[in-house]
Structure 1
Amino acid sequence: MKTTTEGLTRGRLNDLLDAVCASTGLSSREAELLKFTNNAVFRLRRAPVVVRIAGSAATRTRVPTVVQVAHWLARHDFPSVRLLADVEQPLSVDGHLITLWECVPEVGPRPGGTDLGILLRDLHALADPPHLPKWRPMTEIRQRLNEPEELSADDHAFLQHECDDVEEQLATLNYTLAPGIIHGDAFLGNVIAGPHGPVLCDFDSTTIGPREWDLTPVAVGSLRMNYPVDEHNPLAKEYGFDVTRWEGFPVLRRLRELKLVTSVLPILRSNPTIRPQWEHRMRNFKTRDLTVRWQPYR
């Protein structure tokens, strides 16, 4: 089992943030760390800019695609986050890939399932998508399993077996919707309540694949996460397809939950605050208990 030696501690993240800000004429003073899971996301205080630092080797491999998709969506005037203009992206600092984004003020109404349904429907309808990799979800998960922090040998073996089993099941699915460009991680955490309406963000997982996958995260969130509002039914109604009624949904649900368990493996030691929730998820996932609710990683 390979382990990461990067050690992206908060101090190391601050050093990377200072370096990239110094190289672009920005100030990192009083920057706020918004999230540290797959990426470390900072909001600068002295400029309307968001800084994303790829948090693992698996995430770094996708950064060029993120930049490509962002430029393509901007050309279509799609409601999505925009890369900071006049900066060559991505930036590289000590082997870490970093992107700078225009900060979207969250001042609009809270986005819901209907809003995400509209965004996905419009995204799936866009013409001339860029040349993107094909959807290979197990590749991403296996990459994370190659660089875990503080994962026991037994848990590692269990997750490896899960990858093999889910991969076999995916190969048997008969999809109903036409394939094409997909966001890849379409849940409401990746929708910003912008001043001119909801805005889509986070294109780390954007590929060419089954549209059913884009409808799965909110469906799984409704069933598994401890959210106060069910957003799945409004999304399904707006999009025109209820993925939970499709015979292949149990396989995609298992894949989604596998991703939710493995997404933070490369930073389990670096970000210890997420460990209790990860252990809770892992325990339920191993026992196949589909009734226990999960909380978002903080």
Structure 2
Amino acid sequence: MSAKDVLTRAAELSGIDAAGAVCIREGSNAIYELTDGIVARVGKPGSVAAAVREIRISEWLNQSGIPTVEVVTAATQPIVVDDRPVTWWRLIPDHRAATPEELGATLRALHALPPPSTFELPTYDPFAGIEERVTGATTINQDDRSWLAGHCAELEKRYGELPVTAPMAVIHGDAWQGNVVVPASGIPIVLDLDMVSIGLREWDLIQLAVDYVDFERISGDEYRAFVAAYGGIDVTRWPGFRTLADIQELRWTAFSLSVAQTRQTAAAEACHRVACLRGAVPRPWRWSAL
């Protein structure tokens, strides 16, 4: 069944009106905006346990003082159709992406939380899914696949040797400006909870740092505001920065390879990203969003 078919059936079972549903994003999860201020999230097959955990995380974070996207409490959660979980969330209207400063302050608060006591968070694995996406890639040649596999193995070795400067903490796992949004109230709200886990604090700082160092997507003043809001810790000065940056860029490249299977524009972008990783394109890089 397609994601839209799964949504339609789940809505029937929940008594929710899915007529006129608009797809916001189609990726690992399919996101639809419905009427009555509801957003539906259709998970990938076999992700029921993850969907249940996301609901618990939302409730826990909101109770802990971290404003987070809220579930629709009046609906049964989740509804499972064709082994795909569908969850219902409250729409956040008229919002914008967080500024670097707002992101830094939100991450500082999140990392200060003790782990939940009523359920267990997984340990974050930055290499999850990379091998499968590389070996299954059909839009690159064997030489590129072999290089990426070797690069991944080398990064796993380097990751295991990283200096530990602080205990593991609750992390978001995909901490970029678009995953913290700011509505008219001015209060940042955390989105996309599927990677919330226990891991290195530095992992949540790496995306914005890479945006600054390797892509020049933000200015020096914006990056310094992020560092100050987080508490003065600049991950670019951490000895393990380059390792985490390389892993993050490999993750983005592996994602582009998975999308490239069905989208020609993504195939060209994936090839460009591989060329960047292999040193054929000098930094700062210019990568298109997928």
Shift of 1:70: 1.6
1:212 and 2:212 correspond: no
Counterpart CA distance in 2 for 1:222 and 1:147 is 31
| 1:262 and 2:249 are equivalent in the alignment | no
Amino acid at match of 2:82: D
Matched, 1:169 2:161: no
1:232 Cα deviation (Å)?
2.6
Contact 2:111-2:170 at 8 Å conserved across structures: yes
How far apart, in 2, do the equivalents of 1:159 and 1:50 lie? 36
Matches within 5 A, 1:1-298: 12-44=2-34, 46-55=35-44, 62-107=50-95, 110-129=97-116, 130-145=119-134, 148=137, 150=139, 152-196=141-185, 197-225=187-215, 227=217, 229=219, 231-239=222-230, 240-287=232-279, 289=281, 291-298=283-290
> Alpha-carbon deviations, 1:62-103, whole Å to 9, x = none?
434323322211322421111221333332211222222111
Aligned to 1:3: none
Identity of aligned residues (%): 27
Give the letter for the 1:259 counterpart: R
In structure 2, do the counterparts of structure 1 residues 161 and 65 end up closer, same or farther at CA, with 3 Å as the change threshold? Answer: farther
Aligned mates of 1:243, 1:285 — CA distance in 2? 21
Q: How far does residue 162 in structure 1 lie from its aligned partner after superposition? A: 2.0
Question: CA 1:295–1:150 in 2, change beyond 3 Å: closer, same or farther?
Answer: closer
CA contact (8 A) 2:72 2:89 kept: yes
Task: Answer with 260-269 or 116-125: which moved more.
Answer: 260-269
For 1:273 and 1:14, the matched residues in 2 are separated by: 23
When residues 146 and 72 of structure 1 are mapped into structure 2, their CA distance, relative to the original with a 3 A threshold, is farther
Summarize the Cα distance change of 1:68–1:158 in structure 2 as closer, same or farther, 3 Å threshold.
farther
Report deviation, 1:181.
0.8
Distance 1:250 1:47 in 2: 46
Extract unaligned runs of 5+ from structure 2: none
Cα separation, 2, equivalents of 1:274 and 1:61: 30
Corresponding residue pairs, total: 285
Where relative contact order (Cα < 8 A, 6+ residues apart) is larger, the structure is 1
1:286 deviation in Å?
2.5
Determine the C-alpha separation between the residues in 2 that align with 1:60 and 1:232: 37
Displacement after TM superposition at 1:251 (Å): 0.3
Which amino acid counterpart does residue 192 of structure 1 have in structure 2?
V
Q: 1:172 to 1:224 in 2, by over 3 A?
A: same
Per the normalisation by structure 1, the TM-score is 0.84
Contact kept in structure 2, 1:106 and 1:195, CA below 8 Å: yes
Change (3 A) 1:296 1:205: farther
Distance of aligned partners of 1:99 and 1:149 in 2 relative to their CA distance in 1, 3 Å threshold: farther
User: Which whole-Å deviations, capped at 9, do the CAs of 1:103-141 have from their partners, x for residues lacking one?
Assistant: 11134x652011011111111112342421112212342
Q: Which consecutive unaligned segments of at least 5 residues does structure 1 have?
A: 1-7
Give the C-alpha shift of residue 34 in structure 1: 1.7
SS at match of 1:19: helix
Contact 1:116 1:235 in 2 (8 A): yes
Map Cα deviations across residues 182-232 of structure 1 (whole Å, 9 max, x no partner): 111111011112233111111222111110111001111223446365643
